[in-house]
Amino acid sequence: MINLVKEELDEQGLPTGVEEDNKTSIDEERIAEPFDPENIDVSTRSMTVDLLLSRARSGMIDLQPDFQRRWGIWDRMRQSRLIESLLLKIPLPVLYAAENENEGWEIVDGIQRLSTISRFIEPTIINEPGLVLSSLEYLHAYNDKVFDDLSDKLKMRLKETELVVHLIKRGTPVEVKFNIFARINTGGVRLSSQELRHAIVPGVARGLLEQWSTTPEFLSATTHSVRSIRMDDRELVLRFIAFKSFGVEQYKQADMDSFLVSAMRAINNMPPPVIAEMLQSFKKSMRAAQNIFGDDAFRKRYDVHNSRLPINKALFEAVSVSLANLEDDEINKLEENSQVVRNRFIDLCSHRGFDSAISQGTGDIGKVNRRFEMMSSMLKGVVSHDN
């Protein structure tokens, strides 16, 4: 039975080029490793807008982090009405932040609100033009006004407004931070899993994933179809590194997110020669995938006539790592017999067990092992036989 394929959408409803990742099904969802409350260090602070902007001005809060979608996705009306709420003394939702090793804060939930406030009160912090209020619901007299047009009383009201910040301290384990933020990540503009990982795991991994996702080999193999706005491209790269570096046998708990968090931390500690070798392996895999599968690389294919589907994350793992583990002469044979590989791949996708392993509950340990074993076996089968 073929599963209905859904493509991930961004916050504007546009396709991202990647199939929606069904990591767990309702009956499979479980806590892989109970939290130790002693490891969770969260403080709650009530801070004035003026103090938060002071931290942003000094660089202790980054209002333009590269992991975050641009604050500008809020239109002018929504930004204006947030300022109107402050003027009316209406409390805003709490902010969530993670403290880094330098005691700076990564705002994980609330960057849109803080950036809007900064744009109105002190736009130089985010290097943007000041906000001109418009479409206000109640304070119509303040339409077309900027911060300097307000009375001293209203200016002080804004600056002295207190916002509640839940700060997860730097001693809290990264995996715990991720799960906490995943639980509270329920706002109107939710962060993707990779954006959350990017927020809480600083270090060289951030730049590395971005660089690898823009290599000609990756872009060609994915036909330039994976949009970077939700960091899906970086997650694909991370999945390759995680399974290539650790090996499938190290995936011992049904928690793909924690596995990938651990991989980002591992990248931060990898010696440069290891990273260079891994990059060459990645590029080799991308070239092979394109040469063998063409425009169908990393996409489900049930029939030679069905339309092209989005990139599938589980397939990307299994195909890219399986190819990277082959010798050059084996790759050459697969390329010479690419049509045989494609036909067998169609048969593989039509296999109920394999289709389930790349479509439903893809974070399950058994399904992770199954898709890697079946993909590797199919490729080895082509290599070891005359076709």
Residue 32 lies in a domain: no
pLDDT of 28 reads 41
- Same domain, yes or no: 242 and 161: no
pLDDT of 276 reads 97
- Same domain, yes or no: 162 and 226: no
Residue 31 lies in a domain: no
**Alpha-carbon gap, residue 157 to 83, rounded angstroms:** 11
Q: What is the pLDDT of residues 77-97, one digit of tens each?
A: 999 999 999 999 999 999 988
Residue 180 lies in a domain: no
Domain tally for the chain?
A: 2
pLDDT of 182 reads 74
CB 232 within 8 Å of CB 192: yes
Phi and psi dihedrals of 189, rounded to 5? -120, 85
**Alpha-carbon gap, residue 114 to 7, rounded angstroms:** 31
- Same domain, yes or no: 280 and 368: yes
Question: Which candidate, 132, 145, 173, places its Cα nearest to that of 40?
Answer: 173
Residue 186 lies in a domain: no
- Same domain, yes or no: 208 and 306: yes
- Same domain, yes or no: 372 and 234: yes
- Same domain, yes or no: 77 and 198: no
Three-state DSSP string of 229-261? CCCHHHHHHHHHHHHHHHCHHHCCCCCHHHHHH
pLDDT of 99 reads 87
- Same domain, yes or no: 48 and 127: yes
- Same domain, yes or no: 353 and 278: yes
pLDDT < 50 stretches in the chain: 1-2, 25-32, 69-72
- Same domain, yes or no: 141 and 218: no
Domain boundary among 145, 175, 205: 175
Q: What is the token pair recorded at 225?
A: 């179809």
pTM, whole model, 2 decimals? 0.74
pLDDT of 33 reads 54
Domain boundary among 123, 142, 175: 175
Residue 183 lies in a domain: no
pLDDT of 9 reads 62
Residue 182 lies in a domain: no
**Alpha-carbon gap, residue 120 to 79, rounded angstroms:** 9
Residue-number span of the structural domain to which 149 is assigned? 37-175
pLDDT of 31 reads 43
- Same domain, yes or no: 209 and 312: yes
